[in-house]
A and B are shown apart, each in its own frame.
Chain A
Amino acid sequence: MSELRRHAPLLDALAGDLAPVRPLAPPLVRALAWFAAVLGLALVLLLAAADLADLRQRMAQPVVLVAALGAGATALAAALAACLSGVPGRSRFWALLPLPPALVWIGASGVGCLSPSPPGAADQTGGCAVTIMALSLPLSLLAVLMLRRTCPLRPALTAGLGGLAAAAGAAALLALVHPHAATAADLAIHVVAVALVVLANLVAGGRLLGPASCSGPGGRADRR
């Protein structure tokens, strides 16, 4: 009983601080809620900026359609993996969930970029990178807000998965307004932009998620 006596003041303090809480919604529900924001942005882009006739023509090419769907599926899978990694006791192998759709996304994009580049395509690659990063920003913020309510025991992993979800979501949105099928230069720029978004989330998101709840004393528990 001496062990319990030593912890008694803390137990009393925690019990005194207790307030009713509502359990978080299941990870799939939270991931779908985040993905609804991606769909909302897609709707806004379609209404405001997309050339629907051109979009229909591009999506008629199977590789373009598969790449866009792969990016969307990667976003959803990464969001689900991030939500699962924020719940103690869930297997860390869930972090591999975005891998299959990401392979489909990257594979289809790679096959698509083997086709010859249309004239003037090289001038637009920089714009694509900016679009990916600009679209990633609100999606990343939303992901961080959603994940701050969880208990990320590995904050960097959770933030990185959130970043991957945001970047993949942005890449899927970019497919709606991209003027042509991705070229090799586009693919390289997209990869760099996605990597930058994931890295930024890893650094900033890890810090934001760390002190939020579960990263231990000083919020520097784990940066893996």
Chain B
Amino acid sequence: MSTACLPFPDGVRHTPSRHTPPRQAGRNAGVSAPRAEARRIEGMDTEERLAGGMRAAQGGDAAAYRALLEACVPVIAAAARRQGLPPDEVDDVVQETLLTLHQARRTWDPARPFLPWLRAIAQRRTVDALRRRGRRPQESHDPLAYEAHPDAGPLPGEGLERRDQGRRLAAAMAALPERQREAVEHLGLAERSLDEAAALTGRSKGALKVNLHRALKALRSTLTRDGGRADV
């Protein structure tokens, strides 16, 4: 079989990290072309190359098929990671997806794009893996890791510290001028929009913004002075 039939004659360009911008992108995009357009052309080229590889595979071209499968590996792994699959299970999903791809290759319609077809299989296999993982009991056989695992609950004394912070914040709020306190209450605490806050208080949006800014500055200064660190 001639190398002209291969979708990836150089054998390297298929990995996204080493992906060389295609000649078409270089010619059309240039230095001044928008980056989005260059990315679109690049994506289109990947789609075309993979679709070409699959067309050749459906015709029985084993070398093109091998190259296509290699090119699919990072696409499948990315789809699996995007769905939140833990890194140690990505390889399993990649292999299951490749097996499904092999069994289902006749269902790909050469008139339709290849990547959505591949990603649909990868996503389904990832969902299967996540379900299996959910059914499996999570056990630890490492006593040290078990002992060192942080408790999800609050630390001792955290409640007291929070209460103290709340008390200091309430005191600092009470010390603010009324307009500033009003701005913090409406915009910061009640999370109202500027329009809503302006309608409720009868003040202009500009005045509310200025008051909020001044209030936050004052609170930051007061809390830093009192407690050493302020999260305002």
Interface residues of A (CB under 8 A from B): 1, 3-4, 6-7, 10-12, 14-24, 26, 86-90, 149-151, 153-154, 213-214, 216-217, 221-222
Q: Can you list 17 contacts pairing A with B, beta carbon distance less than 8 Å?
A: A3-B73, A3-B74, A11-B69, A11-B70, A14-B98, A14-B99, A15-B62, A18-B61, A18-B62, A21-B58, A21-B105, A23-B58, A23-B107, A151-B100, A153-B121, A216-B124, A216-B125
In the assembled complex, which residues on chain A have CB atoms less than 8 Å from the CB atom of B108?
23, 88
Q: Does B102 contact A (CB under 8 A)?
A: yes
**Quick one: which of B60, B116, B120 contacts A18, CB cutoff 8 A?**
B60
| Cβ–Cβ contact A23 & B109, under 8 A | yes
In the assembled complex, which residues on chain A have CB atoms less than 8 Å from the CB atom of B57?
18
In the assembled complex, which residues on chain A have CB atoms less than 8 Å from the CB atom of B70?
4, 11
State the main secondary structure of chain B at its contact with A.
helix
> 0/1 per residue, B62-102, Cβ < 8 Å to A?
11011001100110010000000000000100111011101
> 0/1 per residue, B127-138, Cβ < 8 Å to A?
110000000000
> 0/1 per residue, B198-230, Cβ < 8 Å to A?
000000000000000000000000000000000
| Cβ–Cβ contact B60 & A20, under 8 A | yes
| Cβ–Cβ contact A7 & B109, under 8 A | no
Q: Does B150 contact A (CB under 8 A)?
A: no
18 more A-B residue pairs beyond the given contacts A11-B70, A23-B58, A214-B121, with a C-beta to C-beta distance below 8 A: A4-B15, A7-B98, A15-B65, A16-B62, A18-B65, A20-B58, A20-B60, A24-B109, A86-B107, A87-B107, A87-B109, A89-B118, A89-B120, A151-B104, A213-B103, A216-B96, A217-B128, A222-B127
Q: Does B27 contact A (CB under 8 A)?
A: no
Q: Nearest-CB distance from A58 to chain B (Å)? A: 42
A19 with B120: in contact, given A7-B91, A7-B95, A150-B107 (CB under 8 Å)? no
**Cα–Cα distance between A150 and B104 once the two chains are bound (Å):** 7
**Cα–Cα distance between A217 and B131 once the two chains are bound (Å):** 13
**Quick one: which of A10, A149, A154, A214 contacts B100, CB cutoff 8 A?**
A214
| Cβ–Cβ contact B91 & A15, under 8 A | no
A214 with B103: in contact, given A20-B59, A23-B108, A87-B109 (CB under 8 Å)? yes
**Cα–Cα distance between A88 and B116 once the two chains are bound (Å):** 8
Chain B interfacial residues counted at CB < 8 A: 43
**Quick one: which of B60, B96, B100, B121 contacts A19, CB cutoff 8 A?**
B60
**Cα–Cα distance between A214 and B98 once the two chains are bound (Å):** 11
In the assembled complex, which residues on chain B have CB atoms less than 8 Å from the CB atom of A88?
104, 107-108, 117-118, 120-121, 124
Q: Does B177 contact A (CB under 8 A)?
A: no
| Cβ–Cβ contact A11 & B107, under 8 A | no
Q: Does B13 contact A (CB under 8 A)?
A: no
**Cα–Cα distance between A216 and B109 once the two chains are bound (Å):** 21
**Cα–Cα distance between A214 and B61 once the two chains are bound (Å):** 23
In the assembled complex, which residues on chain A have CB atoms less than 8 Å from the CB atom of B26?
none
| Cβ–Cβ contact A14 & B107, under 8 A | no
| Cβ–Cβ contact B110 & A23, under 8 A | yes
A10 with B117: in contact, given A19-B60, A87-B109, A213-B103 (CB under 8 Å)? no
Q: Does B39 contact A (CB under 8 A)?
A: no
| Cβ–Cβ contact B124 & A153, under 8 A | yes
In the assembled complex, which residues on chain A have CB atoms less than 8 Å from the CB atom of B121?
88, 151, 153, 214
The residue in chain B whose Cβ has the minimal distance to the Cβ of A86 is B107
Q: Does B179 contact A (CB under 8 A)?
A: no
Q: Nearest-CB distance from A44 to chain B (Å)? A: 32
Q: Does B149 contact A (CB under 8 A)?
A: no
Q: Does B23 contact A (CB under 8 A)?
A: no
**Cα–Cα distance between A216 and B122 once the two chains are bound (Å):** 11
Q: Does B163 contact A (CB under 8 A)?
A: no
| Cβ–Cβ contact B128 & A222, under 8 A | yes
**Cα–Cα distance between A1 and B17 once the two chains are bound (Å):** 10
| Cβ–Cβ contact A214 & B65, under 8 A | no
| Cβ–Cβ contact A14 & B102, under 8 A | yes
| Cβ–Cβ contact B106 & A17, under 8 A | no
